[in-house]
Structure 1
Amino acid sequence: MDKIAHKFLQINGLKLHVAEIGSESSPAVIFLHGFPEIWYTWRHQMIAVANAGFRAIAPDFRGYGLSDPPAEPEKASFDDFVNDVASIIDSLAISKVFVIAKDFGTMIAYPFILQHPEKIAGIITFNMTFMPPAAFKNHPLPEGFYVTRWRDPGRAEADFSRFDVKTVVKNIYILFSQSEIPIANENEEIMDLVKPLTPLPSWLTEEDFAMYVSLYEKSGFRTALQIPYRSYMNLGPTKEVPKIEAPTMLIMGEEDYGRKVPGMDEYVKSGDVKKYVPNLETVYVPNGCHFVHEQFPDKVNQLIITFLNCNKHRSKV
């Protein structure tokens, strides 16, 4: 971990934190985190890909971790985050990049990839694949689903405010590590789904947990609730079916609750996803949860490094 360097880049009027390891002359890999995560979620993968001869770059999105928040977090958009990623890559003078994204990070990765296909050497996503609106229009989410609840301004804030930041982050990690979708009943809130003495997942150490807590104590949840829960992925003006042509891998934990989101598993397993991502390979990790990259880092790192090596030739300009 002490070999991971940290820098701050002036990006689109904000000072954004970027963690980095590996030679600047090596093929570049940018890691895009989800929620409730920060750059640190990729610590195992960053070290592994650097040891395999790649340059690993993991930013904190604006309003997350050590990065500056936007002036008005409630007005932040996915476009802002996509533009930040493009600007980070340009600032580091990278012409071709592998993109690895998890959870809502994929909702930033795919618009970036569609806008800059010439910059993409390959893509790996976790938990989610490319889902343009047409793919999921007939699958409404339950009212008590955490995504639905947190979409309403003020509701999550009121729920979270009953607890300190440590408890909120702990509860989210516990809920998201389970195999069932977090759905609250009509008269309860999402935080009520976790019993007070429930332990953290066994694979998350107290030291690692403390890192997440300290940075959410710094950043709070204002930007995190806006992006991803209160904004929408913008694919731009697409008259035709948008397609991701680069080599792509989807890594899913077999026990990830995300597989039970209405329509998700069917969309992937039926092959419908290949209408949009024709060069997709899907890998299921046995017993893997929503945080499979932290839960089984050795297995995941092997998948990533094999993919990167197979497509290394594409990183050359």
Structure 2
Amino acid sequence: MSKPTQRMVETNGIRLNVAEQGDGPLVLLCHGFPESWYSWRHQLGALAAAGFHAVAPDMRGYGRSDRPEAVEEYTLFHLVGDMVGLLDALEAPTAIIAGHDWGAVVAWHAALLRPDRFQAVIGLSVPFRPRAKARPTSLMPRTTDSQFYQLYFQQPGIAEAELERDPRTTVRAMLYAASGDAPNTNAGGIGMVPHGGGFLQAVEAPPGLPPWLSQGDLDFYAGEFQRTGFSGGLNWYRNIDRNWELMAPFAGARIKVPALYIAGDRDLVVAFPGMDQLLANLGNFVPQLRDMLMLPGCGHWTQQERPDEVNAAMIHFLRSLREQR
């Protein structure tokens, strides 16, 4: 089996580095934080072998892709616009879009806003969340001695100083702590950061690498963030309230294309407050939700922790779409 090739593509006023493999119907793969195209390394070959053209970009702010300076250039409209522009650059009228973590947010909204271009959607870890009734940061947990990690990420420079001190330690700790291999020690205060402390304080140092992560994998991620820093990825979080403002015209809109949702039952995202209700009602907001797959013992890094099961589910869903045409 050949390996994915990489190239730079002009889209939406910036350049994105894309890894791609295979020929056939286009499947876009959007990664999350703190990752890169490389988080889809197990899917590119599998999708290519199944007869698809798999394309995984370094998303805006990551890897070899452009990293605009201005915080406000990382809104959902920019990110979805990058994916629409990528289709244009690839001369593809339509695609199926898949995303994990923040990439799932992009994928869901691409399907919501441009169903003419994105004809089906696969979300990993993060489900589609309808627009909240109030500014999102106002709803995030905070106590007298701690705050939700997304609030900690809001002020430019603070999280960067901590995470960039030693990118290898940062990535290793984050990949382990949110995986299904880590002990569930923070269940009572998921994602809370102590005031005056740091994000990594509550993250347990891994005793070794989990079986799904090799030294070579860690070297790749660490090298990318050593070179780029973390500002690009953190700027996505700094647009949470701005996204809420921009999405006002789409309040109550439903995703009308076929959809698949996959998550691990040990994913911290699934344990966030209110997530049980959201998942129970996901079919109301995504009426063509074909399946919800919950992988036992799997943590947050869905497609890396359980590549075989994720590949099988994705390919089954993609083939079912082809058969219906």
Give the alignment's TM-score, normalised by structure 1. 0.89
Aligned position for 2:166: 164
Structure 1 counterpart of 2:167, which letter? V
Structure 2 counterpart of 1:152, which letter? Q
Once the two structures are TM-superposed, the CA of residue 43 in structure 1 deviates from its matched residue by: 0.9
Aligned position for 1:284: 294
Structure 2 counterpart of 1:256, which letter? D
Report the CA distance shift for 1:27/1:192 in structure 2 as closer, same or farther (over 3 A). Answer: same
Aligned position for 1:192: 201
What's the % identity of the aligned pairs? 31
User: 1:22·1:55 contact (CA, 8 Å) conserved in 2?
Assistant: yes
SS in structure 2 at match of 1:151:
coil
* Structure with bigger RCO (C-alpha 8 Å, 6+ apart): 1
User: 2:107·2:122 contact (CA, 8 Å) conserved in 1?
Assistant: no
Q: Give the ranges of 4+ consecutive aligned residues of structure 1 lying more than 6 Å apart after TM superposition.
A: 135-138
Separation (CA, whole Å) in 2 of partners of 1:196 and 1:190: 13
2:307 is equivalent to residue 297 of structure 1: yes
Q: What does 1:180-259 align with in structure 2 at a 5 Å threshold?
A: 180=187, 181-196=190-205, 198-232=207-241, 233=243, 236-238=247-249, 241-259=252-270
2:35 is equivalent to residue 37 of structure 1: yes
Once the two structures are TM-superposed, the CA of residue 113 in structure 1 deviates from its matched residue by: 1.7
Structure 2 counterpart of 1:6, which letter? Q
Separation (CA, whole Å) in 2 of partners of 1:98 and 1:198: 39
- 88, 92, 102: which is aligned to 2:86? 88
Once the two structures are TM-superposed, the CA of residue 115 in structure 1 deviates from its matched residue by: 2.2
Once the two structures are TM-superposed, the CA of residue 74 in structure 1 deviates from its matched residue by: 6.0
User: 1:254·1:287 contact (CA, 8 Å) conserved in 2?
Assistant: yes
* Unpaired stretches in structure 1, ≥5 consecutive residues: none
Structure 1 counterpart of 2:161, which letter? A
SS in structure 2 at match of 1:166:
helix
Question: Could you tell which deviates more after superposition, 139-148 or 76-85?
Answer: 139-148
Structure 1 counterpart of 2:234, which letter? L
Aligned position for 2:175: 173
Give the number of aligned pairs. 310
Once the two structures are TM-superposed, the CA of residue 184 in structure 1 deviates from its matched residue by: 2.8
Report the CA distance shift for 1:197/1:30 in structure 2 as closer, same or farther (over 3 A). Answer: closer
Q: Please report the RMSD computed on the Cα atoms of aligned residues, expressed in angstroms.
A: 2.3
Report the CA distance shift for 1:175/1:239 in structure 2 as closer, same or farther (over 3 A). Answer: closer
Separation (CA, whole Å) in 2 of partners of 1:263 and 1:3: 41
Separation (CA, whole Å) in 1 of partners of 2:69 and 2:101: 25
Once the two structures are TM-superposed, the CA of residue 240 in structure 1 deviates from its matched residue by: 6.0
Deviation sequence 1:69-94 (CA, Å, 0-9, x none): 11435643222211111100111011
Report the CA distance shift for 1:6/1:266 in structure 2 as closer, same or farther (over 3 A). Answer: same
User: 2:131·2:247 contact (CA, 8 Å) conserved in 1?
Assistant: no
- 146, 149, 152: which is aligned to 1:149? 152
* Unpaired stretches in structure 2, ≥5 consecutive residues: none
Q: What does 1:70-149 align with in structure 2 at a 5 Å threshold?
A: 70-73=68-71, 75-134=73-132, 140-142=140-142, 143-149=146-152
User: 1:175·1:182 contact (CA, 8 Å) conserved in 2?
Assistant: no
Separation (CA, whole Å) in 2 of partners of 1:141 and 1:84: 31
SS in structure 1 at match of 2:147:
coil
User: 2:140·2:148 contact (CA, 8 Å) conserved in 1?
Assistant: no
Report the CA distance shift for 1:104/1:245 in structure 2 as closer, same or farther (over 3 A). Answer: same
Separation (CA, whole Å) in 1 of partners of 2:76 and 2:251: 21
Give the alignment's TM-score, normalised by structure 2. 0.87
Report the CA distance shift for 1:202/1:12 in structure 2 as closer, same or farther (over 3 A). Answer: same
Structure 2 counterpart of 1:201, which letter? P
Deviation sequence 1:102-141 (CA, Å, 0-9, x none): 1111221222222211122311101111112237979533
SS in structure 2 at match of 1:100:
strand
Report the CA distance shift for 1:87/1:224 in structure 2 as closer, same or farther (over 3 A). Answer: same
Aligned position for 1:311: 321
Report the CA distance shift for 1:111/1:197 in structure 2 as closer, same or farther (over 3 A). Answer: closer
Aligned position for 1:264: 275
